[in-house]
Amino acid sequence: MTAPASTILSATTLSATTLATTLAATTGAATTLAADRYVSFRGIDFDGHCRALIETIERYHAGEGAREPFWGWFLDLRRNDPAKRDDLLLLSSLVNPLRERFEAHGDAEALALLERAEEECF
């Protein structure tokens, strides 16, 4: 006899594949949970979102924020990133400091870019 589905669902240590297999065995219904794991990311332009944010940061570094050490530090970190310039990882790791800097400059456009990237990509 198999365990009830509620018992299986409450186990937090099951992987997505194990859970899908166990649910299929318990309920008799096939599931594609593991196969469709990333379907919600289709059509999102990760590179475009990252590029727009990096261009905004580069603009700050070259212009009005040139005296602020944060922008230079960020771009140096990006250039020297051992993960081969994984802009998505870098931006998502620093979303709060970026938000603070954009807010300090009253840059609604940059904040909107960051918010959209955070909602869709991070």
Closest CA to 102 of 122, 116, 88: 116
Which of 37-51, 57-71, 85-99 is predicted least confidently?
37-51
96's tokens: 């709060």
pTM above 0.85, yes or no: no
Q: Is the CB of residue 90 less than 8 Å from the CB of residue 77?
A: yes
Q: Is the pLDDT of residue 62 over 80?
A: yes
CA 87 to CA 54: how far, in whole Å? Answer: 8
Break the chain down into helix, strand, coil percent, rounded to 5. 65, 0, 35
Distance CA 83, CA 104 (A): 29
pLDDT value of position 8: 43
The lowest-confidence range among 18-27, 43-52, 58-67, 99-108 is 18-27
